Chains A and B, each alone.
Chain A
Amino acid sequence: MWTSSHVSDPESLQSDRFKVDENAGFRSKSGEDLLLDQAFGNLPQFCKYASTCHGSRIVQEELVLLKSEAHDTYVSHSLI
């Protein structure tokens, strides 16, 4: 599983800092763009992740989400 340089524990992606929401995609609780944070943080690792079966699908979802967000300005986002 891909981990960025600033996320040392892969498990934290699942539980603590980040949440997985099938509607919202793979993003942080604060609404931060996980995809781009990781891409800018560690590009080779990001590309390695995007070259995996699961990772490719996840980053594609993020791209589509980013594009729709850019057009809509507002988006429904679930927060606990």
Chain B
Amino acid sequence: MIRMFRIPLFKHSLSRLSQLVCILVNGGHVDQLVLDKFGNYFVQTLLANICKASFNVLIDHLTRDLDGFAEMCNHQFGSHVIQTAINHCGGNMYSSAKLTKCLSETLQTISTKFLGSICVIHGIDSLSPSLGIAPSITVHARLLSCSRHGHTIVIHALERFDQEFTRLIEKAILNELDDFVNNDFGSRVLFHVLSKQTQMWLKTNNSFISGLVGEIIFNAKYFQLIEYLVTNFRSNEQVKNKLIPSIVRIVRAGVTP
């Protein structure tokens, strides 16, 4: 016969979870679990259910070594643990700052890999840009933009971060326009910035468009960019008074300058 009782349970349950975290960390078993096919789910559940202090202990362990952190971010199972850690540190400034620091410092290593780039995108969504991730992306804007997986980070950040971030990316594009135009992924970032300009047409001062016109070289690689500018920004002073007359001169003369 089965009878239902309501029994007082252990008030120390939560502290026992904290003890479990401590013995796992001190025993050196966390890394092995994080990189394991099934163990990573256990660590993720642990991250989702432990108190703030234990969470910080676990984050301290995961972020103790930049190379190890980068390896986890790029690992097929470890990446999921890092993503869960990032998603669960809302309101926890200590862990947020730790994770942001590690993501920023390993950005070059992880952002060009598929799983690493997913971790950074989670960081953009969940961590405060003021903690340092936005400046790191702008510093490595060309590297990220010209990589298969990195350019998705820049495009995502452009959607999430403020106008100041967009200005910095525009500056990076103008500094190395050739690299952006000549790269399939870089040109996607360039056209994404331009499409943002189109949407903000009346609000912006169009200094980016003017800067682009000043940098344009008349060769085949730039054809798509020239076409986009003439089509979408024909009322811009630089496009109207400099770019279009140049095109007319080229067409009349039959030779590029």
Contact = CB atoms under 8 A, between A and B. Distances in A.
A79 interface: yes
Chain B interface: which size bin?
20 to 34
Contacts, number: 101
A60 B41 CA distance: 8
Contacts of A53: 38
B48 to A, nearest CB: 8
B5 A77 contact: yes
B110 to A, nearest CB: 25
Interface in B40-60: 41-42, 45-46, 49-50
Interface string A38-80: 0110011001001111011101100110110110111111111
A67 B38 CA distance: 21
A74 B2 contact: no
B20 interface: yes
Given A31-B9, A59-B42, A73-B8, A80 B2 contact: yes
B24 A43 contact: yes
Interface stretch (B28-36, B140-148, B176-184): B28-36
Interface of B: 1-11, 13-14, 16-17, 19-20, 23-24, 27, 29, 32-33, 36-39, 41-42, 45-46, 49-50
Interface of A: 31, 33, 36, 39-40, 43-44, 47, 50-53, 55-57, 59-60, 63-64, 66-67, 69-70, 72-80
For the complex of A and B, 9 pairs with smallest distance between CB atoms: A70-B14, A56-B38, A70-B13, A51-B39, A60-B45, A67-B49, A47-B29, A51-B36, A50-B42
